[in-house]
Amino acid sequence: MSVKLKSDNPSVVLQKVGEITFEDRPVPKITKPNYVKIAITNTGLCGSDVHYYETGSCGSFKVEKPMVLGHESSGIIVEVGSDVKTLKAGDRVACEPGIPSRLSHEYKSGNYNLCPEMAFAATPPYDGTLCRYYLLPEDYCVKLPDHVSLEEGALVEPLSVAVHANRLIDVKYGDTMIVFGAGPIGLLTAGVASAFGCNKVLIVDIVQEKLDFAIQNKLATHTFNSKNKSFEQLSSHIKSIWGENNYPTCGADATGNKFCTNMCIRSLAKKGRFVQVGMSGDNVDMFPISSVMERELTVKGSFRYSVDDYKYAVQLLNDKKINVEPLITHRFKFEEAIEAYEFSKLGKSIKIMIEGPKL
């Protein structure tokens, strides 16, 4: 598919808290030989974008000057630098939106997501992908197989977060999983656990529709609505699924809520592995440290994604190991991007997809 180059670069810019406008930014030029120029076709709206819009910050990052939003994108290559070998104009790609320093120790040790000089889309001060044209190094684009849509390509970003979390605690055939939180990341973390071979995946949330969604779309095998429920009630539910003296071997918290982290860790089998995916406050009381000690649990933190996660995510889509399309509950045109952000505040959507500017 070839795309005609245009001379404008309409962009969705967060000016300050609560104010998003459209701006025509300069068309970026390829200045490094290993870079490609992508015409963005789809961008998923993420919790972090909405957070910047509503509060001006997310975690330790603060918006100090106007910033283009968006980081969950796919697109079509329109131009390649002179050293690019694996991509050509017309290729459809998923865009990995964070470029580390290739000189950092974190990069060299295979943990580039932790690079202190990471330039990540729509994380201050770096502009995001909700625009017509975006530049990336060749190796931060993953080509989409013909039968994987560009919309699915945009969902590779949150899917990679889920792949990273599962890989961090080495989820594999024979494991079983409990996931707290049935938002996009929790749903995908459960779905990837299923794809990686867990035959029992229990997802926990307080919203019944989200739990039903997880079952209908085969992202989890069991659910628990934890609204007004005690840990003892969760435990007896686990016993009814896992059987006497059997417990989940793996757990993930995708809520950032201290009660969830606490219950998730306390639900695990001896030698179990837990991963924190949801963003939380700096200090959390209620950390069940005696469970960690007495059961020799492994507790890990997970931040974005790193080497091969994007590749594996595309492979899961290619092999139809996970169906991400149903997560897209609402679609907006590029010109309706501001409405999309307003709509997301209502909390009625799972994933909102915004089209790129007309090709």
For tokens 């656990």, the residue is: 193
Determine which residue in the list 12, 14, 20, 46 makes contact with Zn ion, applying CB under 5 A. 46
Closest distance to Zn ion from the beta carbon of 158 (Å): 6
Residue 150 binds Zn ion (CB under 5 A)? no
- Nearest by Cα to 215 from 194, 229, 197: 194
Q: Which of residues 181-210 bind Zn ion (CB under 5 A)?
A: none
**Taking contact as CB under 5 A, which single stretch among the options 13-21, 40-48, 116-124, 178-186 is the one that binds Zn ion?**
40-48
Question: What distance in Å separates the CA atoms of residue 219 and residue 351, rounded to the nearest whole number?
Answer: 15
Looking up tokens 């001896």, which residue turns up?
Answer: 270
**Cβ-based nearer residue to Zn ion, 129 or 291:** 129
Exposure on the CB side of residue 356, measured as CA atoms within 13 A: 25
Q: Is 121 in the site for Zn ion (CB under 5 A)?
A: no
Q: CB under 5 A: which stretch of 46-54, 249-257, 284-292, 295-303 binds Zn ion?
A: 46-54
Q: State yes or no: residue 50 binds Zn ion (CB under 5 A).
A: no
Q: Which residues pair with 353 in a beta bridge?
A: 44, 331
Closest to Zn ion by CB, 46 or 220: 46
Buried b (16+ CB within 10 A) or exposed e, 47-86: ebbbebbeebebeebebeebbbbbbbbbbbbbbbbeebee
What residues contact residue 68 under an 8 Å CB cut-off, 6+ apart? Answer: 11, 12, 13, 14, 25, 122, 127, 128, 129, 130, 131
Q: How far is the CB of 104 from Zn ion (least distance, A)?
A: 22
Nearer to Zn ion, 272 or 356 (CB): 356
Taking the complex as a whole, the smallest distance from the CB of residue 174 to Zn ion amounts, in Å, to: 30
Q: Least distance from C-beta 207 to Zn ion, angstroms?
A: 20
Closer Cβ to Zn ion, 350 or 359, answer by number: 350
Residue pair 235/260 in contact (Cβ under 8 Å)? The answer is no
Torsion of CA 253, 257, 259, 265, to 10 degrees: 20
171 binds Zn ion (CB under 5 A): no
DSSP codes of every residue in 144-162: PPTTS-HHHHHTHHHHHHH
Candidate segments 43-51, 205-213, 227-235, 333-341, binder of Zn ion by CB under 5 A: 43-51
- 20 scored as a contact of Zn ion (CB under 5 A): no
Q: Rule CB under 5 A: say whether 154 interacts with Zn ion.
A: no
Size of the site for Zn ion (CB under 5 A): 1
Which range in 44-52, 77-85, 130-138, 215-223 contacts Zn ion by CB under 5 A?
44-52
Residue whose CB is nearest to Zn ion in the complex, by number? 46
The per-type count for the chain, helices as H runs and strands as E runs, is: 11, 20
CB of 304 to Zn ion, least distance (A): 9
Comparing C-alpha atoms, which of 80, 112, 84 is closest to residue 96?
Answer: 112
Q: Which two tokens stand for residue 233?
A: 């009630």
Which residue lies nearer to Zn ion by CB, 46 or 99? 46
CB of 71 to Zn ion, least distance (A): 6
The total of other beta-carbon atoms located within 10 Å of residue 10's CB is 20
Nearer to Zn ion, 73 or 223 (CB): 73
Stretch of 42-50, 60-68, 243-251, 288-296 lying at the interface with Zn ion (CB under 5 A)? 42-50
Q: What is the smallest separation between the CB atom of 253 and Zn ion, expressed in angstroms?
A: 17
**Least distance to Zn ion from the beta carbon of 289, Å?**
31
Q: Could you tell me which residues are beta bridge partners of residue 34? A: none
Minimum CB–partner distance for residue 330 and Zn ion (Å): 16
Which residue lies nearer to Zn ion by CB, 160 or 176? 160
Cα angle 340, 345, 349; round to 5: 70
Q: How many CA atoms lie within 13 A of 298 on its CB side?
A: 12
- Catalog residues that contact Zn ion under the rule CB under 5 A: 46
